[in-house]
Structure 1
């Protein structure tokens, strides 16, 4: 099963269908043309053997804003492992804004995390992912991430990161930092900045490496211009 958020634009009232699994989506009040959905853990997360899948489908001229009520901690797994997979599909002019809370990988955790995004022409996504390796005073466990994004038939972004303890301390990965904070835009670009990577197609990656997550200077879209 999957946690699923399905939104369809409607001239009278945008339709929103929510399905609960590991996470419980709950609709919040929103302005016209905006559907806001909170994600609430339906139980303890993230434990060994958990297979969390989140499916998001948005169609039409509507913006879906996802709000996380709390961060997620992947706890020690004693030799086990867990998955966290996100599948996003946007069509017919839809847009998505998802500024996630920190995803913390505690000592002895082993997590594989994937994000797959498919956008039709004219759609946009604005995503934040904050990865924290270890709770206070911990080294943190194993985290492997994979991100793939398509705009129409064209591959817009492909990135794999191995954030295992033995590899992430390299100067080209995290060095002495323990937090990787990333804002990714797809379907439009952020303003040029020395710390922003512009993709070959319409998209950007802004990234900060910090020791404590609150030290990141990446702003919430409410305090910056947002392209719908």
Structure 2
């Protein structure tokens, strides 16, 4: 059974009074945008899950548009679990467009790939000149005691018409990903990625500068708590 349904749509713009307002907030089959408390640093929204998780045949899609000079802060109050697909597949896709001078921060919670799951995850970002995005994400291969399922995570970010980050993280074969020099014993992969601007901050041994304005710090661990603590410190530093 395929639950493609409707995409979750978030569109934000800056009005004549200089306020960041939502022009379109549409709940989708899997996620619903919910406004948070008003703030002077932009519009804050939560992406709230409306289903238990991803099952075989599910196709989750999120569309985010940030207008010129607008500021949007997305957070996920809970993680997402891809359950045993029993031979099927599912997909997660986000399409992000940020206009000139726009800003998006997306603080996502762990994406857990249970044993038997087979998922593709795509993040497509287009940034105009002067636009920027800060994204935090964590992949967890398996619930407690599990080896974890299959996932292929692809990211493509284009800044001012030029590719800034193109990545294809193929973790579909457990025997390959567990080799030394790939993931080894690690089953948690966490990252904070800055697109469109140099985030500054103190030096970090895992920092990778991108092919243009931006950087990424990626961490590996056997358990989630250690990764989440260090990522939180990087996230707070780069947000400032």
Determine if the TM-score, normalized by the shorter chain, exceeds 0.5.
Answer: yes
Q: Which runs of 4+ in 1 moved over 4 A?
A: none
Residue number in structure 2 paired with 1:4: 9
Aligned equivalents of 2:13, 2:199: Cα separation in 1: 27
- Contact preservation (8 Å) 1:99, 1:220: no
Aligned equivalents of 1:203, 1:172: Cα separation in 2: 25
Residue number in structure 1 paired with 2:25: 18
Q: Are residue 30 (structure 1) and residue 38 (structure 2) matched? A: yes
- Contact preservation (8 Å) 1:33, 1:62: no
Residue number in structure 2 paired with 1:111: 119
Q: Which runs of 5+ in 2 are unaligned?
A: 1-5
Root-mean-square deviation (CA), in Å?
A: 1.5
Residue number in structure 2 paired with 1:99: 107
Aligned equivalents of 1:8, 1:220: Cα separation in 2: 30
Could you report, residue by residue, the CA deviation over 1:26-67 in whole angstroms, capped at 9, with x for unpaired residues?
111231241011011112211111100000000122221111
Q: Are residue 190 (structure 1) and residue 199 (structure 2) matched? A: yes
1:148 to 1:221, Cα distance in 2 relative to 1, 3 A: same
1:45 to 1:184, Cα distance in 2 relative to 1, 3 A: same
Aligned length: 227
Q: Are residue 208 (structure 1) and residue 213 (structure 2) matched? A: no
Q: Which runs of 5+ in 1 are unaligned?
A: none
Residue number in structure 1 paired with 2:236: 223
Aligned equivalents of 1:220, 1:70: Cα separation in 2: 19
Question: Shift of the alpha carbon at 1:221?
Answer: 6.5
Aligned equivalents of 2:43, 2:176: Cα separation in 1: 40
Return the TM-score normalized by structure 1: 0.95
Return the TM-score normalized by structure 2: 0.90
